[in-house]
Amino acid sequence: MRHLVALVGPVFRKELLDAVRDRRSLMSALLFPLISPLMINLLFGTIAARERSAEDLVFPVQGAELAPGLMAWIERANHEVVEADGDLFAQVRDGDLELAVLIDPDYADDFASGTPAKISLILDGSKNDLLPLVRRARTVLRSYGAQTGALRLIARGGVD
Amino acid sequence: MIEVRGLRKRFGEVVAVDDVSFTARDGHVTGLLGPNGAGKTTALRVLYGLLDSDQGEVLVDGVNVGTAPQEARRRMGVLPDSRGLCVRLTAREHLRYFGRLQGLSAAAVEESIDRLVTQLEMGDIIDRRVQGFSQGERVKVALGRALVHEPSNVLLDEPTNGLDVGATRAMRRFIRDMRAKGTCVLFSSHIMQEVAALCDRLVILSKRRTVAEGTPEQILTASGQTNLEDAFVSLTGLDEVGA
């Protein structure tokens, strides 16, 4: 056993010398730790840039005059509402619009009578780079729904 | 002195060495001879202590390889079949590494390297990396590495494989020098001329067994042939295949 311990030094020195002189494995061993933080930085940077681009949304809306409450809600969240005409589905499909909101012709009546009022968010699910945008748009519309629901519940009273 | 008695080694179903016994004496060159696949390399690997035998024993200067492999290895210098050099180390680093592994002091290693550089005429290659060495130069490094601790027994597995005429003659001269110093030299080969030119004693293996052992004259008498090649063919049973 003592004999084997004495061999550790020479073997270690020889292996180290051999490894240091092996340029190719040395390079790949050192290069990856250097490059990988850069790559990760680049990756996260791209994702963050996409998220940022979705901060201020423009909502092309058809039938905005039917839902003034919703429009006010969108503008209060620092987003912009613009009028959209024509066939929204075709425009989103062709890429002329990133997304669009279609207010149902019966929206105002349904809203007034307290029955579910239909809003359509039109989007192209195959476009990955629009996903953050869509997510934010959805959040804005849902929060309006939740807010309205909560207010109505309070107005009617009596959950407990 | 190397004594091999009743060696047997199998790998699963395959019997690599069946019954091998011989003695290699000090101050003699003993040739281990046999056709390809006769078990020469396996027998030698058991001798260096690389493999354990299933039966039988190997004594190097009376030290049993099976029970005291480290001590037995210090008494042996081995030039293996595959030379096993590190291409990124220089010749000097190889010798130094093995000298240290054999337990020599740093000063003794350097002294030994100087001696080998002269003996093996490797002054021009000693500080070059092995990458790019010719076959002859590689064998010199491997041989120097085997001899760095001045062993009293030297085992050479096909030492002239891949060498040109000049290098082969240098190798033979070197083997004779070792014999003159009283070293026990055991070398394996399948080249008859080389064996005839060098060996004092022959051990012939065939089909994983020792089939003959003795001086070249004794081998000739035993086989009833007039030259070693015919004797080798008749003893190993190669003629049965050829006929």
CB contact under 8 A, B88 and A9: no
**What pLDDT sits at residue B60?**
94
| Of B88, B97, B95, the residue nearest B120 (C-alpha) | B95
Tell me whether B132 touches chain A (CB under 8 Å). Answer: no
**For residue A159, pLDDT beyond 60:** no
- Could you tell me which residue, A86 or B242, shows the higher pLDDT? A86
**For residue A54, pLDDT beyond 70:** no
**What pLDDT sits at residue B241?**
54
Question: What is the C-alpha to C-alpha distance for residues B140 and B112, in angstroms, rounded to an integer?
Answer: 15
**What pLDDT sits at residue A43?**
93
Question: What is the C-alpha to C-alpha distance for residues B80 and A127, in angstroms, rounded to an integer?
Answer: 65
| B63-64 sheet: strands from edge to edge | B63-64, B55-60, B2-11, B14-24, B209-214, B201-206, B29-33, B184-189, B153-157, B76-79
Which residues on adjacent β-strands are paired with residue B154? B77, B185
Least CB-CB distance to B93: which of A6, A7, A17? A17
pLDDT category, A80, cuts 50, 70, 90? Answer: confident
For range A6-21, the mean pLDDT: 89
Pick from A17, A20, A23 the residue to mutate for testing the B interface (most B CBs within 10 Å). Answer: A17
Interface of B with A in 195-214 (CB under 8 A): none
Note whether A124 and A130 are within 8 A (CB): yes
| Of B145, B149, B189, the residue nearest B168 (C-alpha) | B189
For range A89-105, the mean pLDDT: 89
Q: What Cα–Cα distance (Å) separates residue B183 from each residue in A6, A57, B1, B91, B151?
A: 28, 92, 8, 24, 8
Least CB-CB distance to A22: which of B88, B100, B103? B88
pLDDT category, A1, cuts 50, 70, 90? Answer: low
For range A85-114, the mean pLDDT: 89
Question: What is the C-alpha to C-alpha distance for residues A18 and A25, in angstroms, rounded to an integer?
Answer: 11
Written in H, E and C, the secondary structure of A13-47 is HHHHHHHHHCHHHHHHHHHHHHHHHHHHHHHHHHH
CB contact under 8 A, A17 and B101: no
**What pLDDT sits at residue A160?**
57
Cβ within 8 Å of residue B164, ≥6 positions away: B135, B136
Mean pLDDT of chain B: 89
Helix/strand/coil for A80: strand
Tell me whether B93 touches chain A (CB under 8 Å). Answer: yes
CB contact under 8 A, B103 and A14: no
Query: Which residue type is seen at B207?
Result: K
**What pLDDT sits at residue B243?**
43
For range A2-11, the mean pLDDT: 81
The pLDDT averaged over each successive group of 10 residues in chain B (243 residues) is 92 90 94 86 88 91 90 91 87 94 92 92 92 90 93 91 84 91 90 84 90 89 85 80 48
Pick from A20, A21, A24 the residue to mutate for testing the B interface (most B CBs within 10 Å). Answer: A21
| Of B199, B105, B102, B117, the residue nearest B152 (C-alpha) | B102
To which residue do tokens 């020469």 refer?
B40
- Could you tell me which residue, A158 or A26, shows the higher pLDDT? A26
> Per-residue DSSP letters for chain B?
-EEEEEEEEEETTEEEEEEEEEEE-TT-EEEEE--TTSSHHHHHHHHHTSS--SEEEEEETTEETTT-HHHHHHTEEEE-SS----TTSBHHHHHHHHHHHTT--HHHHHHHHHHHHHHTT-TTTTTSBSTT--HHHHHHHHHHHHHTT--SEEEEESTTTT--HHHHHHHHHHHHHHHHTT-EEEEEES-HHHHHHH-SEEEEEETTEEEEEE-HHHHHHHHT-SSHHHHHHHHHTHHHHH-
pLDDT tens, position by position, A67-79: 888 899 988 888 8
CB contact under 8 A, A10 and B93: no
| Of A79, A50, A53, A51, the residue nearest A64 (C-alpha) | A79
pTM: 0.66
CA atoms lying within 13 Å on the CB side of residue B133: 27
CB contact under 8 A, A14 and B89: yes
